[in-house]
Structure 1
Amino acid sequence: MTKIRLALCQMNVVDDKEANLKKASSMIRDSVANDTDFIVLPEMFNCPYSNDKFIEYGEEEADSLTLNVISELAKENDVYILAGSIPEREGDKLYNTSYLFDKSGSAIAKHRKMHLFDIDVKDKITFKESDVLTAGDEFTIVETDFGKIGIGICYDVRFVELARIMVENGTEILFYPGAFNQTTGPAHWELLFRSRALDNQVFCVGVAPALNMDASYHSYGHSIVTNPWGEVLAQASEKEELIFCEIDLSEIKKVREEIPVLKNKRKDLYEVIRK
Structure 2
Amino acid sequence: MAATPIKLAGAGAFAAALAVAVSRPRAVGRLVRTLVARAAGAPVYAPLPPPQKVKVAVCQLHVTADKEENLQTARRAIENAAAQGAKLVVLPEMWNCPYSNDSFPTYAEDIEGGASGSVAMLSAAAAAAGVTLVAGSIPERCGERLYNTCCVFNSRGELLAKHRKVHLFDIDIPGKITFKESLTLSPGPGPTVVDTEAGRLGIGICYDIRFPELAQLYAARGCQVLIYPGAFNMTTGPVHWELLAKARAVDNQIFVITCSPARNPASSYQAWGHSTVVGPFAEILATTGHEPDTIVADMDYAQLAERRANMPLRQQKRHDLYELLDKTA
TM-score, with length taken from structure 1: 0.99
Per-residue CA distance 1:244-263 (angstroms, 9 max, x = gap): 11111111111111111122
State yes or no: 1:26 paired with 2:47: no
CA distance in 1: counterparts of 2:66 and 2:108, whole angstroms: 13
Alpha-carbon shift at residue 146 of structure 1 (Å) = 3.4
Q: Distance in 2 between matches of 1:50 and 1:263?
A: 44
Report whether the alignment pairs 1:2 with 2:85: no
Structure 1 residue runs without a partner (length 5+): none
User: Could you say what secondary structure the match of 2:89 adopts?
Assistant: strand
Cα deviation, 1:213-239, whole Å, max 9, x if unaligned, reads: 100000000000111101111111011
| AA in 1 matched with 2:104 | F
Matches within 5 A, 1:1-275: 2-61=52-111, 62-275=114-327
Q: Confirm or deny: 8 A CA contact 2:171 2:179 kept in the other structure.
A: yes
Where do 4+ consecutive residues of structure 1 move more than 3 Å? none
**Secondary structure at 1:43 match in 2:** coil
CA drift at 1:131 = 0.2
Note the residue ranges of structure 2 that are not aligned, 5 or more in a row.
1-50
Q: CA deviation at 1:94?
A: 0.1
* Counterparts of 1:148 and 1:30, CA distance in 2: 24
| Superimposed CA distance per residue, residues 174-208 of structure 1 (whole angstroms, 9 cap, x where no aligned partner) | 00000000000001000000000000000000000
CA displacement 1:82-132 (0-9 Å, x = unmatched): 110000000110000000000111110110000000001110000000000
Q: How many residues align?
A: 275
User: Secondary structure at 1:104's aligned position in 2?
Assistant: coil
Report the CA distance between 1:10 and its aligned residue.
Answer: 0.1
CA drift at 1:274? 1.5
- Once the two structures are aligned, what percentage of the paired residues are identical? 47
Answer with 260-269 or 229-238: which moved more.
Answer: 260-269
- Whichever residue aligns with residue 282 of structure 2, its letter is G
- Secondary structure of the 1:130 match is helix
Give a deviation string over 1:28-83, Cα, whole Å, max 9, x none: 11111111100000000100000110111000002100000000011122111111
Deviation at 1:26, TM superposition (A): 0.7
Quote how far apart the aligned CAs of 1:153 are.
0.2
Secondary structure of the 2:72 match is helix
Provide the C-alpha distance between the structure 1 equivalents of 2:179 and 2:220, rounded to a whole number of angstroms.
Answer: 32
2 CA distance for matches of 1:142 and 1:267?
27
**Comparing both structures, which one devotes a greater share of its residues to strand?**
1
Pairwise CA distance, 1:266: 1.5
Indicate if the aligned counterparts of 2:87 and 2:198 stay in contact, CA closer than 8 A: no
Q: What one-letter code is carried by the residue in structure 2 that aligns with 1:266?
A: R
TM-score (norm 2): 0.83
Confirm or deny: 8 A CA contact 2:88 2:198 kept in the other structure: no
